[in-house]
Amino acid sequence: METEPVVSPQMWTALAIMLLLLLGGAVVSIMYSFKLHGRIVHQFRLLGEKFGIELEIPKATMGGLYRRNPTLYGRCRGHEMSIYPHGYGLDNTRQTDVAVRITTRASAKLHLTLAKRNLSGKLGQVGRLKEIKTGDVKFDEVFSLKSNDPEAALAIFNEEWRGKVMAEWPAEDSFLSLDKSILTHLKSGLPYEDKARLELEAMAEFCLDFSDNI
């Protein structure tokens, strides 16, 4: 008659250690996620105070374990304005960029995009739009401007605004679009620290000024 294999005490000990390590790793991951969430809430709260717009913190789910990132919305300088982490993938859960979205008085028919001439920057540009050369060699070497209305785009990106773009565009990858009278600026990275939040403030100020200009 065959005998059942006996699990040695050493094997039980090894299994217990593995389970403890897995549990410990899960706890550390959850605590780190909570820490990041607290940081971004703090930075968004400061942004809301800066621009006078309302902070919304979604209610935690899954017993408090799943916490969605905050958003900002309100009116600033006569424009509807929102600042939010931009999501990708299933249910927008992979949030790696932050967006500033502002209403403008531009024609709803006008569609344009602006990005630096690098692979990641141009990925967001719409292929069917026509690339436009401004005649400013330094600007055209760095930036790719596309639009369905070249004349209107050139009027917007005059010498003054080409200079502002060159001086104030974020160092990280970012992407500007105007579509259906809505200006959207996407910037790589989420603002967990003061430095990133101040860069986001500058980007929002730039977008507000730009919205006033179009």
Most trustworthy range by pLDDT among 57-71, 87-101, 176-190: 176-190
What mean pLDDT do residues 157-167 have?
94
* Whole-structure pTM value: 0.79
Q: Which has more confidence, 163 or 15? A: 163
Q: CA-CA distance, 51 to 207, in Å (whole number)?
A: 12
What mean pLDDT do residues 162-185 have?
90
* % of the chain beyond a pLDDT of 70: 80
pLDDT at 38: 81
Q: How far is CA 72 from the centre of its chain?
A: 13
Q: What is the pLDDT of residues 9-25, one digit of tens each?
A: 777 777 777 777 777 66
CB 167 within 8 A of CB 159: no
